[in-house]
Structure 1
């Protein structure tokens, strides 16, 4: 999943739709999120200081998880920062990736800069308590979410409550953001990716604008780009059937 997001951001119903296509679906927390390892001793990254880790390290974490599962290779799907990690995994461990699906992501942070409003969300100070965190989540998703699909504030607040109660670590999110910024651009390296690749992106994404998806698809030889009018930086329930259909087409070859 993406920046600061936990595995529960992959909705169980969405995962079930993939499982119904015959897949064994595994969702997981990246380091510094959820119930994964948190680098508390690293503190909050100082401006200009070296990052505690890079996206390449998160890709290596993913390969390590596959080792623990006993999986030689897998169909890899990543959203936002997760898409960046999936790209890095395909670059660093090509034998572990059967297919690559990069959703609302980009080859590098400078390829598709966020809008001013979305950047303000990214830089919002962490909420001081649970109630404020839920209100902040509803507000933030109203800005970066999909303008073409009606938001469900109650559902957003419910998921935010689950995430807060499971793990609340804004410093970890800051370390992940530092990793994104320190990892540079993958465009040239993506030219060496040879696995079947799908790129899904919203045409109304303010956080990672559509140029990020176009650049990803252009960088990977033979990649297929599918864009969605009205989709922002989230995964609208109304589009799940299309996402699953596109992923299934990719994985079944």
Structure 2
């Protein structure tokens, strides 16, 4: 008996070695993180807004004012804002990455076609590697969850969950 009824994977990967790397613009931008004075709120806010510019797709206009407001809130509520980048440093568990094909529950893979950090090919590969997977392609979307995509994403997750709730 599985521990979950369904899985939703959003803008992620199993890091298969034959998949394309992140775009150079992402590497260049995040290289700057080492130079950031994380004690200066205005510097951190500017870095955060810039990060979302780099990660955004072309489908929706970049809402700099809104992203700036979100960055301000993020800085206010954070106890250690520099830790926002820690997930990129996590290691261990690599042996599980080759076990993607063992996932045996209905899976919804959601991925943008313009994701510069985890290219779209990663989402396609996940959907192909998981036997019971469906792929929701977000045309023109990058690594962001733009609020104009929320309805589509929420509806897809809801339908996926409802569809498979009674099949287990």
Pairwise TM-score range, normalised by the shorter structure: 0.7 to 0.9
Alpha-carbon distance in 1 for matches of 2:94, 2:31:
20
Alpha-carbon distance in 2 for matches of 1:153, 1:185:
40
RCO higher in structure (CA 8 A, sep ≥6): 2
**TM-score for both structures, normalised by structure 1:** 0.57
Aligned to 2:166: none
Deviation, 1:179, is 1.3
Aligned to 2:25: 117
**Is 1:97 paired with 2:9?**
no
**Contact 1:108 1:184 (C-alpha < 8 Å) held by counterparts:** no
Gaps of 5+ in 2: 164-168
Alpha-carbon distance in 2 for matches of 1:186, 1:209:
21
Alpha-carbon distance in 1 for matches of 2:121, 2:7:
19
**Contact 1:191 1:220 (C-alpha < 8 Å) held by counterparts:** yes
**Is 1:215 paired with 2:100?**
no
**Is 1:159 paired with 2:70?**
yes
Moved over 3 A (4+): 109-112, 172-175, 185-188
**Is 1:189 paired with 2:99?**
yes
3-state DSSP of counterpart to 2:32: coil
Residues 1:109 and 1:178: Cα distance change in structure 2 (over 3 Å)? farther
Alpha-carbon distance in 1 for matches of 2:47, 2:106:
38
1:63-82 mapped onto 2 (5 Å cutoff): none
**Contact 2:14 2:122 (C-alpha < 8 Å) held by counterparts:** yes
1:1-253 mapped onto 2 (5 Å cutoff): 95-108=2-15, 110=17, 111-125=19-33, 127-128=36-37, 129-167=40-78, 168-170=80-82, 172-173=83-84, 175-180=86-91, 182-184=92-94, 186-253=96-163
Alpha-carbon distance in 2 for matches of 1:165, 1:109:
37
Q: Tell me the C-alpha RMSD between the 2 structures.
A: 2.0
3-state DSSP of counterpart to 1:124: helix
